[in-house]
Chain A
């Protein structure tokens, strides 16, 4: 599986935007970029995914670099409930359907 690199931890103030980076320099043409988050003592929650174009949904936005070697998950206005571990995962939609979780970024929201 193509690997991703994320910062171990980040902090953000409540009600401010948060930009969570992810590097995936070995991404292949058929890899989708998926983001999940895991709140304490819960299973992961799907956030968003994309292939080439930027994506928006009710939870977040995903900005994908033109060369696809990096992406950024954007939480537009962080709340205390957004404190979680955020995982950036590559998944090949045409072959291996497994999700391989890295260590993710632990996001702390400061009230």
Chain B
């Protein structure tokens, strides 16, 4: 299947700093990328959807000024957690799909996740 990478895999930062997480599609062009957040023992919650070259669409309750998403190319999307606080500590997961493809190749593929710990 298609490969999606995330970097870094783990980050620890001080409260008030900003953290950038990268999501890359390695062997396909991702017209759409999604960002999820997962707290311990809970399911994945969609934060936002981004289409290449346009502004991200945020889910209800997600602060767009706090979670900045950029999808400037067909292989890269970034999520920046601005002024991070301990309650932002979570497992952040991206996924990507190529909406131009049909059938199973239109599937969403997920990255390995980034564990953010804010002290």
Binding site for B on A (CB under 8 A): 34, 36, 38, 41-46, 49, 87, 93, 97-104
Contacts and interface: CB of A to CB of B under 8 A. Distances in A.
A100 B46 contact: yes
Given A46-B1, A104-B43, A98 B34 contact: yes
A59 B113 CA distance: 22
A43 B108 contact: no
Nearest to A44: B110
Contacts of B6: 43
Nearest to A34: B107
B50 interface: no
Contacts, number: 50
Given A41-B113, A97-B99, A98-B49, A46 B43 contact: no
Contacts of A46: 1, 107-110
Contact of A98 (B46, B91, B106, B109): B46
Q: How large is the interface on B (under 10, 10 to 19, 20 to 34, 35 or more residues)?
A: 20 to 34
Interface string B100-119: 00001011111111010000
B104 A49 contact: yes
Contacts of B46: 98-100
B34 A42 contact: no
Contacts of B45: 101
B43 A101 contact: yes
Contact of B93 (A34, A43, A102, A103): A43
B62 interface: no
B32 interface: yes
A93 B105 CA distance: 12
A100 B93 CA distance: 14
A6 B43 CA distance: 13
Q: Which 6 A-B pairs have the closest CB atoms?
A: A43-B110, A101-B44, A101-B43, A43-B93, A44-B110, A43-B113
A43 B111 contact: yes
A103 B97 contact: no
Contacts of A100: 46
Given A44-B44, A44-B110, 19 more contacts: A42-B113, A43-B6, A43-B94, A43-B95, A43-B111, A43-B112, A43-B113, A44-B93, A46-B107, A46-B108, A49-B107, A87-B43, A97-B97, A97-B99, A98-B46, A99-B46, A99-B95, A101-B36, A101-B45
